[in-house]
Amino acid sequence: MNVVVVGGGSWGTAFARLLADHGHAVTLACRDPGQVAAIHDTGHNPRYVQSVDLAGVEAATVGAAPIEDANLVVVAVPSAAFASVVAELPGRAPILSLTKGLDPGTGNRLSTLVRDRPVAVLSGPNIADEIVRGLPAAAVIACESFPLAVQLQLAINSTVFRVYVNDDLVGVELCAAAKNVIALAAGGADGLGLGDNAKAALVARGLAEMGRLAEVAGARPETFAGLAGMGDLIVTCWSKSGRNRRCGELVAQGATPAEAARSIGMVVEGLTTAPVLRDLAHRLDVEMPIAEGVCAVLDGIPLTELVAQLMQRDPTVE
């Protein structure tokens, strides 16, 4: 296929390499002409996953990329930019979204912002640094069209990147959004040195929150036990290179959220998603105390106070 990957960040760059290795003609579309020129000159992305060899991957600005002639457009941009990016894409090729979050303007799932063309979502435990090193990984593609999901599965699946399909688009997208918020809390547990018991309990209760949200939103609970749910939650909460986990850790150690994000140097999706997820839970009347607590910490309450509040909640059944 002719594929354009819109978004020259770490995951977009890694995914472009993955597609090119599968034999597709790939163009990596970046906003910054300087980044495009550097990729042309050196064969490497100067900003993200700099070790990956981009030989065989074309680079172009978003405006100059051959999007209208593409068979597939992969969108790997921050959730805050997703709506404006997809609104300006020419052509009618299917979109495969790699973005994990909710639209901060409307609170809607990102796939609902795509108009007049098919859309699918890829999610799972996919740390970009490991993907480009050729380490084995798995992901799930969710789409309302099963034939399109299978077509994309066959186009991406390889011996190092195993792809499953799922028709629960709602569940996969909510998993992708919620896990980043839980990872902020898990990083906070790391930063406070609360231990493995506390962190494991936090992640398990976070998964329970995600499941409650899924049920009310019309998703299937089993999706939250799969790659997009439990799988991605585990890697995001434990990986040393996970941005959301690291951000929570830095906040626990005294940094403001803005200072933590600057230190990391890349978009921390959980910071954008947390208040949107909280508001969605309010609209659906779903209890999500960890997500509520993360928002409270981001608004300035001490993390130690949040820990005390969570531990002092009334005992209940699991």
The amino acid at 257: P
Identify the burial level of 145 via C-beta atoms within 10 angstroms of its C-beta, where 0-12 means exposed, 13-18 middle and 19 or more buried: middle
Contacts 24+ apart (CB under 8 A), 128-131: 128/10, 128/11, 128/13, 128/14, 128/48, 128/49, 129/10, 129/14, 129/49, 129/241, 131/14, 131/15, 131/17, 131/18, 131/161
Task: Give the single-character DSSP code of 314.
Answer: P
Those residues whose C-beta lies under 8 Å from the C-beta of residue 242, and which sit 6 or more positions away, are 127, 183, 187, 235, 236
Residues annotated as catalytic (active site), given as ranges: 179
User: Between the CA atoms of 147, 148, 154 and 157, what dihedral angle is there, to the nearest 10 degrees?
Assistant: -130
Element containing residue 113 per DSSP (H, E): none
Distance of alpha carbon 103 from its chain centroid, rounded? Answer: 13
Element containing residue 72 per DSSP (H, E): strand 72-75
Please state the φ and ψ torsions of residue 262, each to the nearest 5 degrees: -65, -40
